Amino acid sequence: MIFLDETMNNLAASKVLGVFRLVREVREPGEACAFITHGGRRGFQAFDRVLVMRRVEVLADARSPRSSGISDAEDIITSEVLPE
Indicate the number of domains in the chain: 1
**Please, are residues 36 and 53 in contact by the beta-carbon 8 Å criterion?**
no
Please give the model's pTM, rounded to 2 decimal places. Answer: 0.53
Which residue segment(s) compose the domain that 42 sits in?
2-78
Of 41, 42, 40, give the one whose Cα is nearest residue 16. 42
The whole-angstrom separation of Cα 8 and Cα 20 is 10
Please indicate, yes or no, if residue 83 is contained in any of the structural domains: no
Average pLDDT over residues 24-41: 77
Q: What does the DSSP 8-state code read for residue 45? A: G
Please indicate, yes or no, if residue 62 is contained in any of the structural domains: yes
Average pLDDT over residues 50-57: 78
Please indicate, yes or no, if residue 40 is contained in any of the structural domains: yes
Please indicate, yes or no, if residue 47 is contained in any of the structural domains: yes
Please indicate, yes or no, if residue 10 is contained in any of the structural domains: yes
